A and B are shown apart, each in its own frame.
Chain A
């Protein structure tokens, strides 16, 4: 687990979380989350659709990677939506963000699926080995959940900032190479790079 594990702590009073060096104006994602919270609280039939639209790709991407089975991932996604819809009125946004909550549900249901894939062994010695394996699977599920939550937060960044991070961390380009390719002055690339990282870090720490 990284030292920057996603936190599920409470947001700041009033529900407006502020990332380091970022405007206090609620983000588009924050506004959408507030609307979703109202829908969940009153069991609005649109809540399930809102969850699917806002977080569906992230949760499904996580499930596909974890389960390595598109059909099983779709089935678990369905369970996640149903459970979220049913438990919506009792969801407490002071304890976790909607995404953290959804990923927790997804992780639990996916682990259920992983466990069902392994038949109960007759040999007690095998049972111990399977327990170890189950523990490793749960750890893996947690790590992947963090990565996909980070992906969601990336998607809430201004697209040009997210692209900068993609060029650096997915494509492995240096800041000089990014400056050369985009035509943006190197100093500006550096400023924007660290600003994007700080914003992302702030969002992570707030459990957004």
Chain B
């Protein structure tokens, strides 16, 4: 069986042969099962390519490759901006289990960031973990599992943190007996400014500062 030139196969699949050339090639295809299979596969592929939506083509050049690294802004300290009043904490506590609220302190221009998994700190329930993802829209989605149910008078707080003095509260939430929390909150600052994502257990009556009682934590990759 003579091998058909690739270009002619391509022309056939793309509908760029003359009627006579097409008829001749169809005869060869009919007599050659391997060629028939090859052409059928390419035609099916061409059909799929023709049906791709514009947004799919628009992702070419970026999908499968890491997004360009964000220009890291100057590091700034946000400790002075931490103003989580007792009213906000009370409001957070009033919300149902697993419902988070964002504490908007400052909206960054482009707070995109990484996806990180938060692990239990030593001495904490080892099964507890959370996955946090920063979206281009300046929000953070967090899914936590196996967290201990929030005791009365306490709540969990999610922080962007460098250390105990340089940190900003992101959201307060409570967890029911299922141990799960699902948050979708606006980011008050660019994650790139901070080294850690931290979840602490807070006393409602103890004020807005970090309790020092961290439950889950993850480093934020540069």
> A197 CB to closest chain B CB, in angstroms?
5
- List the A residue with the shortest CB-CB distance to B7: A190
Q: Report whether A45 and B44 are in contact in the complex, using a CB–CB cutoff of 8 Å.
A: no
Q: Report whether B143 and A79 are in contact in the complex, using a CB–CB cutoff of 8 Å.
A: yes
Q: Report whether B10 and A82 are in contact in the complex, using a CB–CB cutoff of 8 Å.
A: no
Determine which of B40, B59, B133 lies in contact with A151 in the assembled complex, contact meaning CB atoms within 8 Å: B59
Q: Mark A156-178, 1 if CB is under 8 A from B, else 0.
A: 10010011011011100011000
- List the A residue with the shortest CB-CB distance to B44: A4
Q: Is A74 an interface residue (CB 8 A)?
A: yes
Q: Among residues 140 to 197 in chain A, which have CB atoms less than 8 Å away from a CB atom of chain B?
A: 146-148, 150-152, 154-156, 159, 162-163, 165-166, 168-170, 174-175, 187, 190-191, 193-195, 197
Q: Mark A63-75, 1 if CB is under 8 A from B, else 0.
A: 0110000010011
Q: Is B26 an interface residue (CB 8 A)?
A: no
Q: Is A200 an interface residue (CB 8 A)?
A: yes
Q: Report whether A78 and B51 are in contact in the complex, using a CB–CB cutoff of 8 Å.
A: no
- List the A residue with the shortest CB-CB distance to B15: A174
Q: Find chain A residues with CB under 8 A from B56 CB.
A: 61, 147-148, 150-151
Q: Is B45 an interface residue (CB 8 A)?
A: yes
> B111 CB to closest chain A CB, in angstroms?
15
Determine which of B10, B49, B66 lies in contact with A194 in the assembled complex, contact meaning CB atoms within 8 Å: B10
> If A49-B115, A147-B48, A169-B52 touch, does A57 touch B59 (CB 8 Å cutoff)?
yes
> B186 CB to closest chain A CB, in angstroms?
13
Q: Is B41 an interface residue (CB 8 A)?
A: yes
Determine which of B45, B51, B67 lies in contact with A197 in the assembled complex, contact meaning CB atoms within 8 Å: B45
Q: Report whether A197 and B13 are in contact in the complex, using a CB–CB cutoff of 8 Å.
A: yes
Q: Is A103 an interface residue (CB 8 A)?
A: no
Measured CA separation A48–B65 after assembly (Å)? 15
Main secondary structure of the interface of A (DSSP, over half): helix
Interface residues on B, range: 35 or more
> If A4-B41, A169-B46, A200-B45 touch, does A147 touch B52 (CB 8 Å cutoff)?
yes
Determine which of B14, B48, B59 lies in contact with A168 in the assembled complex, contact meaning CB atoms within 8 Å: B14
Q: Find chain B residues with CB under 8 A from A74 CB.
A: 135, 137, 139, 141, 184
Where the two chains meet, the residues of A that have a C-beta atom closer than 8 Å to any C-beta of B are 2-4, 29, 32, 45-49, 51-58, 61, 64-65, 71, 74-75, 77-79, 81-82, 85, 146-148, 150-152, 154-156, 159, 162-163, 165-166, 168-170, 174-175, 187, 190-191, 193-195, 197-198, 200-201, 204-205
19 A-B contacts, Cβ less than 8 Å apart? A3-B40, A3-B41, A4-B48, A29-B64, A55-B64, A57-B63, A61-B56, A79-B143, A151-B52, A151-B60, A151-B63, A152-B64, A155-B60, A162-B61, A175-B10, A175-B14, A190-B10, A194-B9, A198-B6
Where the two chains meet, the residues of B that have a C-beta atom closer than 8 Å to any C-beta of A are 6-7, 9-11, 13-14, 16, 40-42, 44-57, 59-67, 114-117, 119, 131, 133, 135, 137, 139, 141, 143, 145, 184, 218, 221
